Amino acid sequence: MIDHLLLERATLRDGGTADVLIAGGRVAALGAAAAADPRAAGADRLDLAGYQLLPAAAEPHAHLDKALLAHRAPNPSGDLTGAVNAVRAAYATMDGADVRTRATEALRTALAHGYTAVRTHADVTEGIGTRSLRALTDLRARASGLIDLQVVALTGAPVSGALGRHNRRLLAEAVEAGADVVGGAPALDLNPRAAVRILVAAADEAGLPVDLHLDETTDPEMFLLRLFAEEVAGRGLSGRATASHCVSLGQQDPETCREVCRALADAGVAVVTLPQTNLYLQGRGRPTHTPRGLTAVAALRETGVLVAGGGDNWRDPFNPLGRIDPFETASLLVAAAHLPVADAWDAVTARARAVLGLPPVAVAPGSPADLVAIRAADLDEAVAAASEDRIVLRGGKVVARTRVIRDVVPLQEEAP
């Protein structure tokens, strides 16, 4: 079997076109070096004329256990509380097979759209136990070699105090069952500060990274980020800690915001911003001066915090929309977080992989050949138009291809 593939005439980020030789699952050579490489002669060939060739994307924050539940679990209020209640009411209908079926469909869409790594949260709490988490760890094995799947135990509230005993036990069970990361949502706890301490300690004791849903509210009084940075620094979890959402950081005065951003940078805490779900859920009940539900992306970037962008919820009670598409997330980061296009794309590729602790991928010799080719003249067009016309490679093999046929009648001839 030939293990070599020559991607012909691909458009690269610098605007030039080049052949790219793939061998042994990695990018072997580009341009003239690819043509001169003896392996190119016998390689399979794939014509990428008209395609922008990019590193594959990584989703740093999904909820595959809830994916595609929107119709089964309606959320009439459209806010976070309504979504949490809608999912709780649906737990009884979510057996392992159901979770696997919906999650599989979402993951295959993700792969077709260019994701080769996904971190998903799974609810671990009363009513669902570790059922979803186990379904997703099963899926992790089945997706191996296609998508690197990380499963976060999203521990239910409360975890603090005597009432939290049950959820603490379930978290331990989830770690035992193979959770990759410890998670939770301290704002929902009776004692949010205690919840932060308990969850960071649990991650440290289990030897796992921690990724918490933090401050997912526009209420500036709910502000746990500083404490999270202290706990992470105190336990030496630098580079293994992620704060997801961080909405209320965007509602602080500029000085407080900068100070906390510096604390996050010093502690080695990464931040994941989730534009679509937070734009959808936050700011309801504020018909004027409606706050934008994102975190303070610019301030975080200026202070050197690692910031990635994710999709969060894929058509469920938290977000009825979502194409499961890195180009959509990047587009939202341009519009709602004011990132330049290239920076937004890095937030869903290089920086998302860094948050997940994965080695980088690039269209460069030596890199694993996890790549996405999308029909577009350049990156701006790729993010703006997000053509479905894509080819996805994992480890040098084509794992998804979507073809688009478009017929449009011509306009009338110009008058002579």
Site residues (vs Zn ion, CB under 5 A): 312
Least distance from Zn ion to the Cβ atom of residue 63, Å: 6
Helix (H, G, I), strand (E, B) or coil at 128: coil
Reply yes or no on whether 216 is catalytic: yes
> How many Cα neighbours within 13 Å face the side chain of 395?
8
Whether the link from the prior residue into 320 is cis, omega within 30° of 0, is no
Rounded (5°) CA angle 269-272-274: 160
Least distance from Zn ion to the Cβ atom of residue 67, Å: 12
Least distance from Zn ion to the Cβ atom of residue 61, Å: 6
Whose CA is closest to 325, among 393, 394, 372, 273? 372
Determine if residue 15 is left, alpha or beta; phi over 0 gives left, psi from -120 to 50 gives alpha, anything else beta.
left
Amino acid 291 reads: P
Q: Residue 312 or 316: which CB sits closer to Zn ion?
A: 312
Q: Residue 39 or 102: which CB sits closer to Zn ion?
A: 102
Least distance from Zn ion to the Cβ atom of residue 158, Å: 18
Least distance from Zn ion to the Cβ atom of residue 254, Å: 27
Measured distance CA(343)–CA(279) in Å, rounded: 20
Measured distance CA(278)–CA(79) in Å, rounded: 10
Q: Residue 57 or 84: which CB sits closer to Zn ion?
A: 84
Contact 43, 21 (CB under 8 A): yes
Q: What is the DSSP letter of 292?
A: P
Q: Residue 180 or 312: which CB sits closer to Zn ion?
A: 312
Q: Residue 204 or 312: which CB sits closer to Zn ion?
A: 312
Q: Which residue has the tokens 């959820």?
A: 167
Contact 167, 156 (CB under 8 A): yes
Q: How many residues are recorded in the chain?
A: 416
Token pair belonging to 58: 């990584």
Least distance from Zn ion to the Cβ atom of residue 244, Å: 6
Closest residue by beta carbon to Zn ion: 312
Q: Residue 65 or 312: which CB sits closer to Zn ion?
A: 312
Least distance from Zn ion to the Cβ atom of residue 183, Å: 9
Q: Residue 312 or 370: which CB sits closer to Zn ion?
A: 312
| Long-range contacts of 288-293, Cβ-Cβ distance < 8 Å, separation of 24 or more | 291/218, 291/250, 291/251, 292/250, 292/336, 293/218, 293/247, 293/250
Catalytic one of 216, 230, 388, 414: 216
Contact 100, 68 (CB under 8 A): no
Q: Which residues share a beta bridge with 21? A: 6, 29
Q: Residue 410: in which H helix or E strand, if any?
A: none
Catalytic residue positions, numbered: 216
